[in-house]
């Protein structure tokens, strides 16, 4: 069974600084990887996903993530954050087998300060 | 509708009562997920449907929880004899096939057991 670990529950950062939100997963088979974002009082929406191919994936709002199979990681990065990036970010994994469930990490709250 | 619809949006119930939560997925989506989001707990997987069948119901916390999906569309999550620890936001999501597709989330049902 797959599992996801998000190593930081909260990440405070100043506006225009770079940020990295860490995600590690475990699975015995190949996986699909996702990052979702939940803005305050809103539903979850997809930021980006890795299915196959290039290990560097670009998403919305200037975010990108890199899949590292040897380290079983899928860390999310942004070179310069904005106040509007304040939200909770969830990493998720699904095993590459038709009809498999999506499992989420515990989430990381990104707080951008001015 | 255009998105995943959940009803009711809020539900307050007395301890010991039964509740039913409804999810109307995006039309044509075969995969449907239920999650529970408690304060500081991230998204806890409850059950996953592929069509009308539930290949993975491993996340249901006790036999008081059950779910069904009829006609490959609407799903109902039922909690019997509710307890205070059942208080949470219950989220439903659907995806086209479940195989690496983006999961679209509803706004959730906030359940409060008093």
Name beta bridge partners: B91: B35
Q: pLDDT (tens digit, 9 = 90+) per residue, B20-51?
A: 999 999 999 999 999 999 876 788 999 999 88
Q: pLDDT (tens digit, 9 = 90+) per residue, B56-86?
A: 888 999 999 999 998 889 999 999 999 999 9
Beta carbons of A105 and B42 less than 8 Å apart: yes
Is the CB of residue A90 less than 8 Å away from at least one CB of chain B? yes
Q: What pLDDT, on a 0 to 100 scale, did the predictor assign at position A105?
A: 94
Which residue is closest to B51 within chain A, CA to CA? A99
Choose the closest CB to B43 out of A9, A100, A104.
Answer: A104
Q: What's the mean pLDDT in A28-41? A: 91
Residue B35, C-beta contacts closer than 8 angstroms, at least 6 positions apart: A104, B43, B44, B45, B46, B90, B91, B92, B93
| A contacts of B103 (beta carbons < 8 Å) | 34, 46, 102
Residue A78's CB is within 10 A of a number of other CB atoms, namely 21
Q: pLDDT (tens digit, 9 = 90+) per residue, A98-111?
A: 556 888 999 999 99
Q: What's the mean pLDDT in B84-95? A: 95
Look at residue B98 and tell me whether its pLDDT is greater than 80.
no
């Amino acid at each position: 069974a797959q599992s996801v670990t998000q190593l930081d529950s909260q990440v405070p950062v100043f506006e225009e600084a770079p940020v990295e939100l860490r995600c590690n997963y475990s699975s015995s088979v190949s996986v699909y990887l996702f990052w979702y974002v939940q803005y305050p009082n809103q539903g979850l929406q997809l930021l980006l996903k890795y299915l196959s191919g290039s290990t560097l994936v670009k998403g919305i709002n200037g975010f990108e993530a890199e899949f590292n199979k040897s380290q079983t990681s899928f860390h999310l990065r942004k070179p310069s954050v904005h106040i509007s990036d304040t939200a909770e970010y969830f990493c998720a994994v699904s095993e590459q087998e038709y009809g498999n469930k999506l499992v989420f990490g515990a989430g990381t709250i990104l707080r951008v300060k001015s | 509708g255009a998105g995943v619809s959940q009803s009711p949006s809020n539900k307050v119930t007395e301890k010991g009562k039964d509740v039913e939560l409804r999810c109307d997925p995006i039309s044509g989506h075969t995969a449907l997920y239920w999650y529970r989001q408690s304060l500081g707990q991230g998204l806890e997987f409850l059950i996953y449907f592929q069509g009308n069948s539930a290949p993975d119901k491993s996340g249901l916390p006790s036999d008081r929880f059950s779910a069904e999906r009829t006609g490959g569309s609407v799903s109902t999550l039922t909690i019997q004899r509710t307890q205070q620890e059942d208080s949470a936001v219950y989220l439903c999501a659907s995806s086209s096939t479940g195989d690496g597709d983006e999961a679209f989330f509803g706004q959730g049902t906030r359940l409060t057991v008093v």
